[in-house]
Amino acid sequence: MFLAMDTVFDQCSIAILDSSGKVISNQTETGKRQQTQQILPMIDSALKGNQLRLADVQALIFNRGPGAFSGIRINTAVVQALSVAQDLPCVAISSLQAIAQSAYVQHGLTQVYSALDARMQQVYFGHYCLMDGIMQPAPVDAESMDAADTEQLLDYDSQTPLNLPIVGNGASLLKHYDGQLSYDDINPDAAIIGQLGIAQFVASGGTEAAQALPKYLRNQAWKTLKEQGKA
Residue 223: the pLDDT is 46
Cis ω before 66 (30° cut-off from 0): yes
Burial 53-80 (b: 16+ CB within 10 A, else e): eeeebbbbbbbbbbbbbebbbbbbbbbb
Q: What radius of gyration do the chain's Cα atoms show?
A: 17
pTM of the model: 0.91
Rounded Cα distance between 197 and 181, Å, is 28
pLDDT of residue 106: 96
Q: What residues of the chain score a pLDDT lower than 50?
A: 142-148, 221-225, 227-231
* Main-chain dihedrals φ then ψ at residue 227, nearest 5 degrees: -65, -30
Q: What is the pLDDT of residue 32?
A: 61
Q: What is the pLDDT of residue 34?
A: 81
What helix, strand, coil percent values describe the chain, rounded to 5? 30, 30, 40
